[in-house]
Chains A and B, each alone.
Chain A
């Protein structure tokens, strides 16, 4: 085996893709030839440099994928019937985390829109819920807040909308809010409790700025909306939605997620009991 042969084979050798016999012949040549050893070193150096440049899937992508698949699955049964929306809303299930939007659409009546792309229909599904919720929630202020909370949660799951400041460090997220809203939301890192902080976002409910803290639980996301105010209504649970509401230190809190109810309540409990990094003004 000469240098020309080895230079052809050195990549496959570095990749461990040669059969044993050929690999041994390459090795025999490498022992004798410093130039080819240098070539192998070059190949390995490039491999090492490139190998570390990995982009992991961003937080929330999995949920959005499942949401879109859920919408796709219900493609032929999307309804605009308010009756379907007035019924009891199913909560997120483990099989369809994030797919609530599609689930809300119901299954009684309607026709198939084959000329729509699935993407248009997925968007339509979200709009149906939003419209439906606003319609349904038009009643009291509390209901309207629930609708806002759910709408904002769904909106945040769209690509690029989850966080304005992405950080697992409460000491980064907290000062960011201090410069973006005129109140001081308590930011807590709950990683040790199993709810790592993902980041923060500025959101608007009826033109009022609200702080959105984003936490994760495995593949699920939790939006915790905070603004100055008191608790409204006596019930934390609303029509089967996974929304938990409380108030503390002059702030009102709304947590929303496709997590199961127990887990979301656990999150709320942990958040309330944890030591605040700063007390609210």
Chain B
């Protein structure tokens, strides 16, 4: 039976990363409500496994659980916005940074572009650009080698650059 002591330690070590947990869950589920469910499920799982947590990177540890929990919740569902690998080829030309910068202030547009990324690209983008995780930490959370993290990051950014540079706002069937 967990004591108040353990609970306090769990709060100090794990729950301080609640924002990170929610942010990842929010991007993986695409819904505020689902994200909250995922965070609650994941935190209960984390608490159950907490006695096996031997220190180290609590944030990466929690985010790994968040990712697995999101998949459990999302399995059987299809995200509507996600790009199909085949229908939306990434641009093969370079994009003028000024064009991207001019669109960066349009939060809705940026958000939709991120939502359109396939999950494996979205995950590494969120972990790197929003959480500032190192490649090594991302590799842990995503369960892939560092080389894969690097190629996903570059593919994700190429896609985003292309989507943000389009004249028409991004959207289904564009």
Contact = CB atoms under 8 A, between A and B. Distances in A.
A, B in one complex: yes
Interface in B128-156: 128-130, 134-135, 150, 153-154
A65 B15 contact: yes
A260 B137 CA distance: 39
Interface stretch (A19-27, A41-49, A200-208, A262-270): A41-49
A50 B160 contact: yes
A127 to B, nearest CB: 18
B26 to A, nearest CB: 4
Contacts of A68: 40, 43-44
A17 B97 contact: no
Contacts of A54: 19, 23, 130
B110 interface: yes
Contacts of B26: 55
Given A42-B161, A55-B22, A159-B37, A49 B100 contact: yes
Interface in A1-48: 8, 11-12, 15, 17, 35, 38-39, 41-48
Contacts, number: 136
A57 B100 contact: no
Contact of B97 (A12, A38, A58): A38
Interface stretch (B53-61, B75-83, B101-109): B101-109
A69 interface: yes
Interface string B78-97: 00000000000000001111
Nearest to B42: A65
B114 interface: yes
A41 B165 CA distance: 14
B22 A61 contact: yes
Nearest to A7: B154
A61 B129 contact: no
Given A49-B164, A50-B129, A57-B22, A11 B157 contact: yes
Given A53-B110, A57-B39, A69-B43, A95 B94 contact: no
A110 to B, nearest CB: 15
A144 interface: no
Contacts of B68: none
A118 interface: yes
A57 B21 contact: yes
Interface string A66-79: 10110011000000
Interface in A109-163: 118-119, 159-160
B142 to A, nearest CB: 15
Most B Cβ at <10 Å: residue of A8, A51, A69, A73: A69
Contacts of B7: 66, 69, 73, 95-96
A42 B95 CA distance: 6
17 contacts: A12-B135, A15-B128, A15-B153, A42-B94, A45-B104, A53-B110, A54-B23, A55-B23, A61-B36, A65-B39, A66-B15, A69-B47, A73-B1, A73-B47, A95-B8, A96-B4, A159-B40
Interface of B: 1-2, 4-5, 7-8, 10-11, 15, 18-19, 21-23, 26-27, 32-33, 35-37, 39-41, 43-44, 47-48, 94-98, 100-101, 103-104, 107, 110-111, 114, 125, 128-130, 134-135, 150, 153-154, 157, 160-161, 164
Given A55-B22, A55-B23, A55-B35, 9 more contacts: A15-B135, A38-B96, A48-B104, A52-B107, A53-B130, A57-B18, A61-B36, A65-B44, A69-B44
